Homo-oligomer: A and B are copies of this chain.
Amino acid sequence: MTETTWLWLDRIGIVWADLMLLATFAGGIVAVFKRGRIRDWWRRNRFPDIGRDLGQDERWPAFLLNVSKPDLPKWLIENQQPAAIALLATEQSRETADDIKAFAEKHGAEVLGPYDIDDPDDPSESHALAATLLDRLRQKGHARIAVDVTGGKVPMSIGAFMAAEEAGCDSIYISADFDRELKKPKPQTTRIRCISCPNTD
């Protein structure tokens, strides 16, 4: 190529770069004026993969649970035989949580807690505790952890759910048909439902 061709290629390149800079600058101006809407849109959470049915043979080596009643957590421990569980409880459910702890240890699981939640209506409390406990379970080498949101009051469940989402853990719900005569869940209908399960097939 001649020197003149090179010169023109260079000039085209410079004009092109100027135009791109101008576009970037204009985009920047728009972004400053629309910053609120851009931030809101950008910050929004997304839940693309929720509520699927899980396979019968899905297994997690570790669980985090909010405790209210004993039946479903005990079913989970028998059914999954986890290596470790972490328990969150309230003043009302403390005794049940101790009972579940004994049951889990009998089944060979290491148990963290039960840890007390002071105000069950404050999601930030269960969120912070759950995040800490998920970290600790990970440090003990459990890479795959499920957060069971079945027990506890709604803000506790949502707090634990938020911690699961932030840590990239699965969140599950234990579902069972209710026996109206015996006033407790029918054990044979118990199954694990997915709330949000990024780590399952």
Identify the A interface with B (CB < 8 A).
10, 13, 40-41, 43-47, 50-52, 121-125, 127, 149-150, 154-155, 157-159, 161-162, 165-168, 171, 173, 175, 193, 195-196, 198
Closest B-chain residue to A52, C-beta based? Answer: B124
Q: Determine the chain B residues whose CB is within 8 A of the CB of A196 once the complex forms.
A: 123, 162
Asked if A168 and B40 sit within 8 Å, CB to CB, the answer is yes
A-B residue pairs, 9 tightest by C-beta: A51-B124, A45-B45, A121-B175, A45-B165, A47-B162, A51-B123, A154-B157, A51-B122, A50-B124
Asked if B46 and A166 sit within 8 Å, CB to CB, the answer is yes
* Least Cβ–Cβ distance between A135 and chain B, in angstroms: 14
Asked if A155 and B123 sit within 8 Å, CB to CB, the answer is no
A127 to B150, CA, bound (A): 17
Q: What are 10 sample pairs from A and B whose C-beta atoms fall under 8 A apart?
A: A44-B165, A44-B168, A45-B46, A47-B165, A50-B127, A50-B162, A51-B159, A149-B154, A158-B161, A158-B195
Question: A51-B124, A150-B154, A154-B173 given. 8 additional CB < 8 A pairs?
Answer: A40-B168, A44-B168, A46-B166, A47-B162, A51-B122, A51-B155, A154-B154, A157-B158
Q: Determine the chain B residues whose CB is within 8 A of the CB of A167 once the complex forms.
A: 44
Q: Determine the chain B residues whose CB is within 8 A of the CB of A165 once the complex forms.
A: 44-45, 47
Asked if B195 and A123 sit within 8 Å, CB to CB, the answer is yes
Q: Determine the chain B residues whose CB is within 8 A of the CB of A166 once the complex forms.
A: 44-47
A166 to B121, CA, bound (A): 23
* Least Cβ–Cβ distance between A130 and chain B, in angstroms: 12
Q: Determine the chain B residues whose CB is within 8 A of the CB of A10 once the complex forms.
A: 10
Closest B-chain residue to A191, C-beta based? Answer: B121
* Least Cβ–Cβ distance between A92 and chain B, in angstroms: 10
A46 to B52, CA, bound (A): 22
Closest B-chain residue to A6, C-beta based? Answer: B10
A41 to B44, CA, bound (A): 15
A190 to B43, CA, bound (A): 31
